[in-house]
Structure 1
Amino acid sequence: MIQTKTGKGKHDIEMSEDKLSDLPNCIMVHILSFLNTKDAVRTCILSKRWKHIWKYIPTLTLHYSNFSTLKSFDKFVSRVLSLRDNSIALNTIDFYRNGSITSGLLKKVAYYVLSHNFKLLQLGIDAKSDIGHILPCISSFQTLISLKLSISPKGRYNFGRTLFPKSLNLPALTFLHLGHFIFCAGAGDGGQIEPFSAFNRLNSLIIDNCTVKDAQILCISSETLVSLTMRNHSFDVYQIELSAPSLCIFSFMGIPYQKFCGSGLSSVKQANIDAEMLANYSVPPLVLLRLLYDLANIKSLTVSASTLQVISFVPDFFMAKQLPSSFMRTLKSLKVKLKPLSYGLSMALKIVKLKKELKSGFEPSSPIPDGILDYLLQNSPSADVDIVECSSASSIDDSFNHLAPLSSSLYLEFLQPSSNEHVVHGLHRRIKHLKHVEVQTTTYIDLAKEVIFREREEMLSLKEHTMMLSKTMEVLLATAIGA
């Protein structure tokens, strides 16, 4: 700290003592453990006292976003792993790298993790690579309480997924985040797959763009699970059988294609839903409505405006049906977050709007469909309603802060090959869906042209009518003067 004293036109600057550097090593190491590793290493230039402190930090947070190039990031990671004091136990490593990673660097990271796993508590790896170097060995991390694995195969245009191992035993695990994995059923599993049954202490589960293979039902069974987050853009059709009596928080982001069976969501008290559609499909709106039905004891619900728009596509026949008495009966708070719509959903809404406009004339559009809030609140009219603006970059809730922005990846995720099909057949299937979007876009253009043509005809008619009125007034004026 610098203190300035003023006296007779001159300033005397006194440097106060460096109290931070006088702290014990253990406290300084603890302070640096809250920084990302790049910032922690930077402290080595402060003084001789700080030169080697970073080498004793028990946590490594290595994110490519802190570097100008991937090459500089890779070089930094290699240097840190070689210079860090290997006698210090490692309890946390968080490795996040965009783009394909060389097998040499991932092997180096994997070897370092494996050689320090006796006290490892938290492990996070987010990269595009072959995870064969580390995945088979994860079961040896018996002390692990937090695991994040988001792995996709190498290749610029490869959007495949990695097979999740069946024999993964982590008895201390409480937090699990999986991204881009396939859960594969065996020959004797009867069309069901239950990949999480071995995690007896699991408290929080995040399933990010995963799917199933050789199965019709994904089972999520846990006595201890409190929070479940799902993000999905897959067109694979399967059911989710949820058995989690302690589940209180549920979050969903993406296209609702997979149905929940049973009453697995009945214990949920807080839900966050950000639903989307790529085009005007009939399945997602009905699946979404069914999901809301299953939230029988919900108290706090946060939805995006796009979620309400997806519900608006539910056929009138279903909307007119008598709601179950349990629907939103316990709801105390409803929050609606306004945000820009995706291209597909926006196009579908424009087509519906133009069709209505051609039939009944123009009506101002609204980010919240007319009557949807009243529909949701039929059984809880006294619930607090909060409508807030949110930017395109922000998600509807902090529950999604760990996920990539939806708008930047929607069509890339859409192009992922299905796990239940041959790759070529899967591409043909997605081409069919893209043709649906193309037809939808063409329909919109044709409707827009019709609206423009009709408005042009109305303008010409109005102009002709105005000219006739002017001539009539001239005749009347001349008659009045002549009289």
Structure 2
Amino acid sequence: MNADGDRLSNLSEDLIIKILSFNDTKQAVRTSILSSRWRNIWKSIPHLDLSSDDITSLLRFSLSVTHVLSSRNDEIELSSVKLSVRGGFNQPFFTPVLSYAYSHNVQKMTIIWSCENHIEIPLSLFISRSLKDLTLIGSSRYNHPFCKIKSSWDLPALTTLHLEHVIFNYENHDEYGGLFSQCLNLKNLTLYNCTVNSHSSDAKMVAHHLKNLTVVNCKGPLLIYAPELSSLMYRNPYFYRFSADGLSCLEKVDFYMSTPYDEDGYFVIQILQQFRNVKFLTLGLEIVELLSVNLVSDIPSPFTKLKSMKIYPGWEKGEKKVNIPTEIKNFLLNGSPNATASIYSREDVKALKDATSAQQIMAKLQRLLVREKINCETNLNVQGETQQIDEGQHDEEEISQMRNCWTDLFVEINEEKDKIDEILSMLDQIHELLKGLPASSKKERTQAQFYSLHVEAKNVMKLMLDYLKVKSGGKVSAFMNML
């Protein structure tokens, strides 16, 4: 590489390091061959992104990781580590990576495990005074968890924890004081497809300063104690128990259940009474349908601070009509007569999703049209300034060049055709989504945006065709004159 002629090499080293930080570690290491100046820059990147996805040999990947760790500048702390592993790696493989990360004050760590075997993570591997953000994602493909965890972790700086496909083997309440009890600053917790195994009736989850909790499709007995919890998203086939004195700060709740039983109605009332301080409440229709008139007729509404309530059909399929008796509506809303209430049918939910999808596709199409318009206008200007081929030159080299130009032209024509096909496909998708929306002022506004975008798309596609005509016409004329 010619450093004098390369603008990237003329940047400051700090800026180059920042740019390289957006690539995985393998790509960053490859830049060391560019020149002597680049040989050691990657060693100062404060991020490690290690993946075995394109490495077939487990031994090669292990040696590669060892090389990166041993070659890296030890004076530079680590902001984040991401480790994506496929294949038959076991727990000893993780030990040097985690030890290195902890010794360099890592703040964010993500480990993604996609393989067939279980790994049991010992407590000794999760002791860090610097780690603030931890994500563990297991394998959904093989229905095997990433790890089995026997106890809580000693991670006092941790604020955000995201766990997927993790098994908790909770064995001793007294010794550990509850899951996450040693994560004294934990604020955000997500449990997705996790399982709790406990020898007692309930495992205990203790998170004294937890603010935001998301539970999706988890199972196993769990008693949650989170006295400062302010936001809860619960979309689960099973009910978890919440400590009776643990939800006084709760203000926002999204509460769904996939497979409720009729006898769960009493338990639903108990849960709703624990949500008494919420201001924004979203309930799944299946939850509300467990509340019979007989159950709520003599019970006052628990919600005295409610500002907004929304009821959505959640997990159940089909076109079941939303019908909530007046007595149950009173139970939910009489404690806060000024609260707004919205009850959505399954048709409403589909319309909301379709409208959102239409807006997203229109935004993507708008970006594509702007980019193609600029490209065409630039190319047309350049095409107008290109030097005409001297008709008197008929040597073999000139003919060869023309043939190459024809090849390039055909490639470009196919590329432009693919772009036009993409534009037309996106227009069709938007049209189909809008066609199914019920009449509303929002639909009218969205359709007006679509019509305007449709006109713009036609103009850009015409511009793309004009450019191809100009370019191909010039080549046809030049090539014919040489025959």
Do they superpose with TM above 0.5?
yes
% identical equivalent positions? 25
Choose from 63, 84, 90 the match for 2:78: 90
Counterpart in 2 of 1:380?
336
Counterpart in 2 of 1:294?
274
Asked whether the 8 Å contact 2:58–2:88 carries over to 1, the reply is: no
Q: CA RMSD in A?
A: 4.2
Choose from 148, 154, 157 the match for 1:172: 157
Counterpart in 1 of 2:202?
217
TM-fit CA distance, 1:72: 9.3
Kindly indicate whether residue 129 of structure 2 is the aligned counterpart of residue 142 of structure 1. Answer: yes
Matched length: 337
Instruction: State TM-score, norm by structure 1.
Output: 0.57
SS in 2 for 1:30: helix
State the alpha-carbon separation in 2 of the partners of residues 385 and 43 from structure 1: 58
SS in 2 for 1:301: strand
State the alpha-carbon separation in 2 of the partners of residues 76 and 391 from structure 1: 42
State the alpha-carbon separation in 1 of the partners of residues 143 and 168 from structure 2: 15
User: Cα deviation per residue 1:49-77 (whole Å; 9 max; x = unaligned)?
Assistant: 6676444322234578xx6x784999778
Kindly indicate whether residue 309 of structure 2 is the aligned counterpart of residue 334 of structure 1. Answer: yes
User: Cα deviation per residue 1:252-279 (whole Å; 9 max; x = unaligned)?
Assistant: 12113222241312211122233212xx
TM-fit CA distance, 1:336: 4.9
State the alpha-carbon separation in 2 of the partners of residues 126 and 369 from structure 1: 44
Asked whether the 8 Å contact 1:103–1:130 carries over to 2, the reply is: no
User: Cα deviation per residue 1:93-125 (whole Å; 9 max; x = unaligned)?
Assistant: 12345xx63126x64444223233211222222
State the alpha-carbon separation in 1 of the partners of residues 247 and 218 from structure 2: 21
TM-fit CA distance, 1:383: 2.4
Letter in 2 for 1:215: S
Asked whether the 8 Å contact 1:148–1:176 carries over to 2, the reply is: yes
Q: CA distance change for structure 1 residues 247 and 214 in 2, over 3 Å: closer, same or farther? A: same
Kindly indicate whether residue 210 of structure 2 is the aligned counterpart of residue 255 of structure 1. Answer: no
Where do 5+ consecutive residues of structure 1 fail to align?
Answer: 1-16, 351-363, 395-483
Q: CA distance change for structure 1 residues 377 and 202 in 2, over 3 Å: closer, same or farther? A: same
User: Cα deviation per residue 1:411-437 (whole Å; 9 max; x = unaligned)?
Assistant: xxxxxxxxxxxxxxxxxxxxxxxxxxx
Kindly indicate whether residue 187 of structure 2 is the aligned counterpart of residue 203 of structure 1. Answer: yes
Q: CA distance change for structure 1 residues 169 and 109 in 2, over 3 Å: closer, same or farther? A: closer
State the alpha-carbon separation in 1 of the partners of residues 84 and 266 from structure 2: 37
State the alpha-carbon separation in 2 of the partners of residues 379 and 315 from structure 1: 18
Kindly indicate whether residue 45 of structure 2 is the aligned counterpart of residue 57 of structure 1. Answer: yes
TM-fit CA distance, 1:204: 2.2
TM-fit CA distance, 1:206: 2.7
User: Cα deviation per residue 1:137-183 (whole Å; 9 max; x = unaligned)?
Assistant: 3244332222233457xx97664684423363222222233442224
SS in 2 for 1:331: coil
The aligned runs of 1:37-436 (5 Å cut-off) are 37=25, 53-62=41-50, 71=56, 79=64, 82-83=67-68, 85-88=71-74, 89-97=77-85, 101-103=87-89, 107-118=92-103, 119-127=105-113, 128=115, 129-132=117-120, 135-151=122-138, 159=144, 162-166=147-151, 168-179=153-164, 180-186=166-172, 189=174, 194-208=178-192, 209-234=194-219, 236=220, 238=221, 240-242=223-225, 244-277=226-259, 281-284=261-264, 286-303=266-283, 307-318=284-295, 320-325=296-301, 327-336=302-311, 342=315, 345-346=316-317, 365-366=320-321, 376-385=332-341, 391=353
SS in 2 for 1:264: coil
Asked whether the 8 Å contact 1:182–1:210 carries over to 2, the reply is: yes
Q: CA distance change for structure 1 residues 249 and 38 in 2, over 3 Å: closer, same or farther? A: farther
State the alpha-carbon separation in 1 of the partners of residues 132 and 94 from structure 2: 19
Instruction: State TM-score, norm by structure 2.
Output: 0.57
State the alpha-carbon separation in 2 of the partners of residues 91 and 227 from structure 1: 24
Q: CA distance change for structure 1 residues 114 and 311 in 2, over 3 Å: closer, same or farther? A: same
State the alpha-carbon separation in 2 of the partners of residues 210 and 80 from structure 1: 31
State the alpha-carbon separation in 1 of the partners of residues 223 and 61 from structure 2: 42
Higher strand share: 1
User: Cα deviation per residue 1:356-409 (whole Å; 9 max; x = unaligned)?
Assistant: xxxxxxxx84367566666533322432446665549x9xxxxxxxxxxxxxxx
Asked whether the 8 Å contact 2:128–2:156 carries over to 1, the reply is: no
State the alpha-carbon separation in 2 of the partners of residues 143 and 241 from structure 1: 26
Q: CA distance change for structure 1 residues 384 and 24 in 2, over 3 Å: closer, same or farther? A: farther
Q: Using CA pairs below 8 Å that are at least 6 residues apart, which structure has the higher relative contact order?
A: 1
SS in 1 for 2:96: helix
TM-fit CA distance, 1:312: 0.9
